[in-house]
Amino acid sequence: MRLNSPQINLIIRACMKASRSLIRDFGEIENLQVSSKGPGDFVTSADKRTEKILIEELQKAHPEYGIITEESGIINGTNNKNRWIIDPIDGTMNFLNGIPQFAISIGYEENGEIISGAIFNPIMNEMFCAEKGNGAYLNNSRIRVSNKKKINNALIVTGGPKASSKIKDKIFSEYVNVSKNVSNVRKYGSAALDMAYVACGRFDGYWQRELNYWDISAGVIILKEAGGFVDFFEEDINSPLKKNVLATNSNIHEELKALINKKDIE
Ligand code: IPD
Ligand code: CA
Ligand code: CA
């Protein structure tokens, strides 16, 4: 891997360390699924444990940096120009159900711009990472987005709506409209991995509403460095951590955007 900033090295080290307990916890899930209590509380503590290890590792090197995490919220540093954006387990529902499609996601931001990041699926042992100007990698190999040019041949991934969503009908109608005009649509349950999979050409495009910044911060730089294009649409200036994302191999970007914007289903 030719990524060598101190920040990306730190992110990778933190991911590797936290993943050891995460792998053990995932192994426990199967036993808990058949127990009367179920794995719910256990998953919450696995989430917290993973986040604690990540924060400790990153703070050891840079106690002055700010941190945004899913579990602990915003931790102000003395220097908030540099921030880590952490999702300890992205794909919790998969984790809870014993499905190995989840990841640790960490982005590193300077002056509001994501500069580097990693998404690590510890069960598949797949480390996606990137650094501004230095390309994107899956383990030791350089990755690139797919070359597909026609939306009707594209394999698209999406996610949501959450049970609490107030715009379910809108999301479902977008889903129907996109489905009618592409090769197929998947819902894979981890926004971070969805972005990483577009970056390495497994999917051609991805869109999703009502995400949080920590779901996709690492994915943004990985996808850009792999030659893809990321757009945030219908942004709400009052909720800067809430994101609607459109991410593609670049070629099909405008077409996918047009399908999402279409109000009525053909
Ligand atoms: C979730 C996953 C999922 C997406 C949800 C996210 P979590 O994150 O990324 O794919 O559909 O909107 O909240 O809760 O597993 O960290
Ligand atoms: Ca999470
Ligand atoms: Ca998440």
The CATH architecture of the domain made up of 151-260 is 3-Layer(aba) Sandwich (3.40)
Q: Give the integer Cα–Cα distance in Å for 58 and 108.
A: 11
Interval between CA 191 and ligand 1 midpoint (Å): 6
pLDDT above 50 (res 264)? no
Token couple for 177: 């409209």
Ligand 2 (single-atom ion) residues, CB below 5 Å: 70, 87, 89
Nearest CA to ligand 1 atom 13: 211
Q: Which atom of ligand 1 is nearest to the CA of 214?
A: 16
pLDDT at residue 1 in the model = 60
User: What would the two tokens of residue 134 be?
Assistant: 């230095």
> For the chain, what percent of residues have pLDDT higher than 90?
85
The pLDDT assigned to 69 comes to 95
Query: With contact defined as beta carbons under 8 Å apart, do 94 and 57 qualify?
Result: no
The domain locations on the chain are 6-142, 151-260
Chain centroid to CA 170 = 23
Same fold for the pair 6-142 and 151-260: no
Q: How far does residue 91's CA lie from ligand 1's centre (Å)?
A: 5
pLDDT recorded at residue 41: 81
The matching CATH number, chosen from 3.60.21.10, 1.10.1040.10, 3.30.540.10, 3.40.50.2300, for 6-142 is 3.30.540.10
User: CA 23 to CA 56: how far, in whole Å?
Assistant: 19
Q: Dump pLDDT digits (tens) for 218-233.
A: 999 999 999 999 999 9
Q: What is the pLDDT of residues 139-193, one digit of tens each?
A: 999 999 999 999 999 999 999 999 999 999 999 999 999 999 999 999 999 999 9
pLDDT per residue over 108-135, tens digit each?
999 999 999 999 999 999 999 999 999 9
Query: How far, in Å, is the centroid of ligand 2 from the Cα of 70?
Result: 6
173: exposed, middle or buried (C-beta count within 10 Å: 0-12, 13-18, 19+)? Answer: middle
Task: Flag whether pLDDT at 32 surpasses 90.
Answer: no
Q: Looking at the CA of residue 95, tell me the nearest atom of ligand 1.
A: 15
Q: Is the Cβ–Cβ distance between 131 and 125 less than 8 Å?
A: no
